[in-house]
Amino acid sequence: MEELFPDKEEKRSHMNLVETVKAAGVVGAGGAGFPTHVKLNTKVEYFIVNAVECEPLIETDKYLCRTWAERIVRTVPVIGDSLGASRRVIALKAGYEREIAALQEAVRASGSDVEIFPLRYFYPAGDEQTLIQQVTGRSVPERGLPSDVGCVVDNVGTVLNIADALEGRPVTGKYLSVVGEVRQTVLLHVPLGIPVLECVEAAGPLISDFALILGGPMMGRQLTDRRAMEQAVVTKTTGNIMVLPRDHYLFKKAALPLETIKRQTRSSCIQCRMCTDLCPRYQIGHQMRPNLVMRNLWREQAVKDNEEYLKLFGDAANCCSCGVCELFACPMGLSPRRVNDYIKGELRNRRIQAPKNPEARKRAFADERKTPTNRLVARLDLTRYYGKHPQECRDLCPDQVFIPFSQHIGKPAVAVKKAGDAVRRGELLAAAAEGLSANIHSSVDGVVEEVTAKGARIRCKAEKATANGVRIRGGKE
Ligand code: SF4
Ligand code: SF4
């Protein structure tokens, strides 16, 4: 395999996993982008690999599991040993039969003690806290960390990035699916910084008037403006691109002004409690009762006393914005998630700190109140795109990339290259800042054309590199 740390001495000095992962710029690949070396710098009982594919229609985790089963199973004990974890678990949906078979075969062949944990189809099965509850029976405290209950959770893509790091390769590429209004659902392997629209083009959009969601339909980032779509690039956390008609329900729902949402809440909430009963945070025992926040909204402006405000609205601090209440539970079409987002801002403005319950316990009947994925898909008007699986993975090779310096939670990395510099794929482009941050590496061979505070634009060499290093001479693949 190609060696990508340019400085061999540098690689040799990364003797322990945490330093190696830090040098390679590994961050949570499942969407959060939390720097992985920080997560791994602890001791816990459970190391859980999240291959659940939390949101409907995403295809990436499945592909990784069936394609790289042996590599995943080989890497998990390395991470588990570093964490001192006695339980090493790969969690994925029970219906992923091919993927489970591939992982089980890899476990059998290696004789490792990695456990495979199948979950039911529900949303949000891949939410970190819900997953921990399912696997361990423990509830993470309100606004707490998995390590508070003896767990570290990493996405399966992150595990593969760690496997690369152990072999001296930093994070330079990304696997992602493109789904929705496309000729064919595709799985792509692309260099970081490739324009999102090039990925869409590769799938063959069936309509011209489309808008995009980066990620899943429930929590993904919506791009409805053409300019925003043109500027968007694939980062370390882009696992899926959804192509949908611009007038799709999901875009209309998200575009509703907050004032309209508040007015609808005051006039139409029937206090049925469905938003609370189906809320994943309420189910694991957190103080999260959106129906009460909705009930009290009419007098929110009149509440001057912070203690009373906390009593009426403090629950909103525990909302994880999963969207179950807004896009599935509420029979009146109201938006508790958006109201909670608004209240969270008000709590910050008023400098109110909601207390945390450290002893959360799963509620009775929680298992009977899960949101079934297929019903959610129907509710979201996505059934016609559901169950279309890509057959193979394709590499794309762009003419240029724009690599953002902030692809992670924390401070942006600091440029170490300037315009005019030639760079190799895997060479350090921007170094992690002090504190929480992550290294950023060039995803291609080429020449840096421009460096801004936001990132670096690189013109790829005529002999282009794809994300896995396959050289393609001239034009497009
Ligand atoms: S589900 Fe809707 S109508 Fe029912 S309590 Fe919640 S916000 Fe009100
Ligand atoms: S978005 Fe709704 S369902 Fe999800 S955690 Fe917040 S209140 Fe609960």
Q: DSSP labels for 79-94?
A: HHHHHT-SEEEEEEET
Q: Which of 319, 328, 371 to probe ligand 2 with, by most ligand atoms within 8 A of CB? A: 319
Q: Is the CB of 214 under 6 A from ligand 2?
A: no
Long-range contacts of 306-310 (CB under 8 A, 24+ apart): 306/350, 306/352, 309/346, 309/347, 309/350, 309/352, 310/347, 310/352, 310/354
Q: Are 331 and 274 in contact (CB under 8 A)?
A: yes
Q: Which token pair is 201?
A: 């083009």
Name the residue among 232, 245, 243 with its Cα closest to residue 190.
Answer: 232
Domain assignment of residue 216, yes or no: yes
Same domain, 130 and 154: yes
CATH, residue 51: 3.40.50.11540
CATH, residue 404: 3.10.20.600
Q: Is the CB of 320 under 6 A from ligand 2?
A: yes
Which of 150, 166, 182 represents a domain boundary (last residue)? 166
Residue 254's Cβ-side half-sphere holds a number of Cα atoms within 13 Å equal to 20
Domain assignment of residue 469, yes or no: yes
Q: Is the CB of 51 under 6 A from ligand 2?
A: no
- Taking the centre of ligand 2 as the mean of its atom positions, its distance from the CA of residue 14, in whole angstroms, is 41
Same domain, 18 and 160: yes
Distance CA 465, CA 443 (A): 9
Q: What is the pLDDT of residue 31?
A: 77
Same domain, 143 and 210: no
Q: 156 lies in which domain range?
A: 8-166
Q: Is the CB of 332 under 6 A from ligand 1?
A: yes
- Taking the centre of ligand 2 as the mean of its atom positions, its distance from the CA of residue 319, in whole angstroms, is 5
Identify the H or E element spanning 174: strand 173-180
Domain assignment of residue 3, yes or no: no
Same domain, 157 and 181: no
- Taking the centre of ligand 1 as the mean of its atom positions, its distance from the CA of residue 339, in whole angstroms, is 12
Sequence-distant (≥ 6) Cβ neighbours of residue 445 within 8 angstroms: 423, 424, 425, 460, 461, 463, 465
- Taking the centre of ligand 2 as the mean of its atom positions, its distance from the CA of residue 175, in whole angstroms, is 29
Supply the residue whose CA is at minimum distance from atom 2 of ligand 2. Answer: 325
Same domain, 22 and 116: yes
- Taking the centre of ligand 1 as the mean of its atom positions, its distance from the CA of residue 57, in whole angstroms, is 27
Burial annotation 108-128 (CB, 10 A radius, 16+ → b, else e): eeeeeebebbebebbbbbbbb
Atom of ligand 2 nearest to the CA of 326: 2
- Taking the centre of ligand 1 as the mean of its atom positions, its distance from the CA of residue 245, in whole angstroms, is 28
Distance CA 204, CA 181 (A): 9
Beta partners for residue 264, in sequence order: none
Residue 309's Cβ-side half-sphere holds a number of Cα atoms within 13 Å equal to 20
Q: Is the CB of 279 under 6 A from ligand 2?
A: yes
Q: Which token pair is 445?
A: 């061979």
- Taking the centre of ligand 2 as the mean of its atom positions, its distance from the CA of residue 472, in whole angstroms, is 46
Q: Count the Cβ atoms, other than its own, within 10 Å of residue 23.
A: 21
Q: Is the CB of 334 under 6 A from ligand 2?
A: no
Q: Is the CB of 336 under 6 A from ligand 2?
A: yes
Distance CA 328, CA 183 (A): 28
Q: Is the CB of 316 under 6 A from ligand 2?
A: no
Distance CA 139, CA 243 (A): 36
Atom of ligand 1 nearest to the CA of 336: 7
Q: Is the CB of 294 under 6 A from ligand 1?
A: yes
Closest ligand to Cα 326? 2
Same domain, 47 and 133: yes
Which of 166, 192, 223 represents a domain boundary (last residue)? 166
Atom of ligand 1 nearest to the CA of 294: 7
Closest ligand to Cα 265? 1
Q: Is the CB of 124 under 6 A from ligand 2?
A: no
Domain assignment of residue 2, yes or no: no
pLDDT in tens, the chain (477 residues): 344 444 554 444 335 899 999 999 999 998 789 999 999 999 999 999 999 988 999 999 999 999 999 999 999 999 999 999 999 999 999 999 999 999 999 999 999 999 999 999 999 999 999 999 999 999 999 999 999 999 999 999 999 999 999 999 999 999 999 999 999 999 999 999 999 999 999 999 999 999 999 999 999 999 999 999 999 999 999 999 999 999 999 999 999 999 999 999 999 999 999 999 999 999 999 999 999 999 999 999 999 999 999 999 999 999 999 999 999 999 999 999 999 999 999 999 999 999 998 889 999 999 999 999 999 999 999 999 998 889 889 999 999 999 999 999 999 999 999 999 999 999 999 999 999 999 999 999 999 999 999 999 999 986 555 666 554 433 333
Q: Is the CB of 291 under 6 A from ligand 1?
A: yes
Burial status of residue 425 (CB atoms within 10 A of its CB: 0-12, 13-18, 19 or more): buried
Domain assignment of residue 316, yes or no: yes
Distance CA 450, CA 468 (A): 24
Q: Are 253 and 328 in contact (CB under 8 A)?
A: no
Closest ligand to Cα 334? 1
Atom of ligand 2 nearest to the CA of 322: 4
Identify the H or E element spanning 60: helix 60-67
Q: Is the CB of 324 under 6 A from ligand 2?
A: yes
Same domain, 36 and 116: yes
Which of 323, 357, 379 represents a domain boundary (last residue)? 379
| Sheet of 446-451, strands arranged across | 400-404, 455-460, 446-451, 422-423
Distance CA 35, CA 435 (A): 11
DSSP, res 168? T
- Taking the centre of ligand 2 as the mean of its atom positions, its distance from the CA of residue 144, in whole angstroms, is 16
Total of domains in the chain: 3
